[in-house]
Amino acid sequence: MCGIVALILKEGQASPILHEALKRLEYRGYDSAGIATLYDGKIFVKKDAGKIDEIHARLNFDSIPGKVGVSHTRWSTHGAPTKENAHPHLDCKGNVAVVHNGVIENFLELKDELIERGHRFISRTDTEVVPHLVEEGLDAGLSLYDATVNALRRLKGSYALAIISTKETDKVVCARNESPLVLGLSDYGTFCASDIPAILPYTNKVIVLNNGEVALLEADKVTVKRISDGVTVSRDAKVIEWSIEQAEKQGYPHFMLKEIHEQSTSLRNALRLQEQYLDLIATFLDRSEKIFLLAAGTSHYACIAASYMFSKLARLAACPVISSEFIENYGDSVGIDTVILAVSQSGETYDTLKAVDYARMKAATILGITNVVGSTLTRVSRAYIVQQSGPEIGVAATKSYTAQLLVLAQIALKLAKIRGKLSQDEIDELKASLNRIPDVVENILETCEEKVKEIAIKYSKEKLFLFLGRGISTATALEGRLKLLEISYTPSLAYPAGESKHGPISVVEDGVPTIFICPNDETRKEILGNIMEMKSRGAKIISMCEEGDQKIKNLSDDVVEIPKQIHPILSPIPYIVPLQLLAYYIAVEKGLDPDKPRNLAKSVTVP
């Protein structure tokens, strides 16, 4: 997730406005930033690594002249956060400047093709193919608009793009596919931006661009067309009544709720990983003697789910370990034959990095999954994958958890393929199921939220909750419990359901809410038994089950039904979503701020 803003003014200087607007998009990314403007027939660029304020203190963004400009604040996905990789990116001649949010999936093919035709690349980003493609169109005599449309038709993946050129200094062309982009109309100029808050101080008249649309901005008007066939789209501007603060949360009362709702998008992004990195990670794992999945908190629960995925799909044993326990528990067994797959949203968690350092010293191979390019974990890993969830502001991990699960599932599938453990039909079925996940999560968010809210209100005053699941759903039970615990401070227990009779069942008495995670997998029969066990002792049964599962529904006091179309091994992704919402609404019902739970920090960088 990055933020882009572009602007074309009738009079005045664009750069101070672009700079201010970018700062309001810093929640979308903050590892590098840049502005390019058009002045006197030339493009002027200032960009660097770092936060906007730091770069401004060094370079003074506001001094760049010109009425037209594009700007960007970055959250790295391809290429480290360096000056070269910061946007805007230019073509060979410095006549075209481009800012981009999204992932161009076919950039490697396009880059090879462009290099063969003599183009020179400076960065390691996927974005840089775009100015070179536009350059070719301009060299062939096309207008900026037509050259851009030709380039867009070559791109696969997601993008919100804004492009300026010295060939037409009174225009900005912008386009959208699966990354957000809004246009702003005002008396003194026109804008485009990744999000409304960026432009709200200047105008509240906006047009939301849809996927597959391209817009031509001129100082006094915008024209929107479809990329596929060039047909003009007529859409009235909406007047936005939100305050800037409301707009930053896109109208949601808290970042946590916004991030829960962003999951269909972050999951789509997590499906756009580069195959060669997945292959590399899977190859290292396949060749190892011992695998430890190292993480803390929510990331540890993603690792627990991954250990089931690796075993079931690839017949590979991987041991999930809490980072702070790793050295004591397994340190002596680590050696050159060990692979550590460290999972950390921030890439900066002290306990995880300490364990990683220890394992490196003992010659283990370190692999990483993180959300932050340039984080310490990326620097100490032999190979790593960036999950591409964009910054997560709510302290409770939500969208980063489901994206971690999706990345780990893709690694499990690669491993299964390398090790020849699944038939082609099984692989195809799993891939199709993986691809359906973003839509299924979108559907859950659309259909279940009201039901979950009702359940939250009904049980918000309870003093104790139990979360039970079997098999891979144990991870969902643990993560559901952690969400509730950390933001609503409600004491809760989570166990593999089969373990409950070895102790936890003693806390069950009349009315204790007991949440069962019951996807339709091989554990269902036994979970039915566990439900009856609890019910007979007076527990109130709240079930997360597959749509239409009448047996579970008959035994439950409250039910959330999850759509069917997902392979059971992927069930931790859809099944955690109602539990995230449950924790959120219980916290709100108790009058707590879910974005700022007491005593907790987003990134725990201390021992």
Q: Which residues are part of the catalytic machinery?
A: 2, 602
Give the strand pairing for 558-562 and 221-226: unpaired
Three-state DSSP class for 298?
helix
How far apart are alpha carbons 312 and 597 in whole angstroms?
A: 36
| Residue 145 or 584 with smaller CB distance to ligand F6R | 584
Binding-site member from 3, 102, 297, 469 for ligand F6R (CB under 6 A): 297
Interaction between residue 381 and ligand F6R (CB under 6 A): no
- The vertex-18 CA angle with 33 and 43, nearest 5°, equals 75
Q: Which stretch binds ligand F6R (CB under 6 A): 14-22, 295-303, 381-389, 560-568?
A: 295-303
Q: Which stretch binds ligand F6R (CB under 6 A): 209-217, 294-302, 310-318, 565-573?
A: 294-302
| Residue 191 or 575 with smaller CB distance to ligand F6R | 575
Q: Binding string to ligand F6R for residues 328 to 357, with x set by CB under 6 A, is what?
A: ----------------xxx--x--x-----
Question: Residue type at 528?
Answer: L
Interaction between residue 402 and ligand F6R (CB under 6 A): no
How far apart are alpha carbons 426 and 428 in whole angstroms?
A: 5
Least distance from ligand F6R to the Cβ atom of residue 352, Å: 5
Q: Which ranges of 419-472 does DSSP label H, i.e. alpha helix?
A: 424-459
| Residue 203 or 375 with smaller CB distance to ligand F6R | 375
| Residue 36 or 485 with smaller CB distance to ligand F6R | 485
Q: Which residue is nearest to ligand F6R (CB)?
A: 297
Q: Are 365 and 334 in contact (CB under 8 A)?
A: no
Among 121, 124, 20, residue whose Cα is nearest residue 73: 20
How far apart are alpha carbons 271 and 537 in whole angstroms?
A: 44
CA gyration radius for the chain? 25
Among 395, 415, 417, residue whose Cα is nearest residue 407: 415
How far apart are alpha carbons 213 and 193 in whole angstroms?
A: 14
| Residue 280 or 604 with smaller CB distance to ligand F6R | 604
Interaction between residue 396 and ligand F6R (CB under 6 A): yes
The residue count for binding ligand F6R (CB under 6 A) is: 15
Give the strand pairing for 96-104 and 157-165: antiparallel
Interaction between residue 299 and ligand F6R (CB under 6 A): yes
Q: Are 283 and 419 in contact (CB under 8 A)?
A: no
Least distance from ligand F6R to the Cβ atom of residue 575, Å: 17
Q: Binding string to ligand F6R for residues 465 to 494, with x set by CB under 6 A, is what?
A: -----------------x---x--------
Interaction between residue 378 and ligand F6R (CB under 6 A): no
Least distance from ligand F6R to the Cβ atom of residue 381, Å: 13
Interaction between residue 15 and ligand F6R (CB under 6 A): no
Tell me how far the alpha carbon of residue 150 is from its chain's centroid: 29
Burial code of 53-70, b = ≥16 C-beta within 10 A, e = fewer?
eebbeebebeebebbbbb
| Residue 375 or 433 with smaller CB distance to ligand F6R | 375
List residues near ligand F6R by CB under 6 A.
296-299, 344-346, 349, 352, 396-397, 482, 486, 603-604
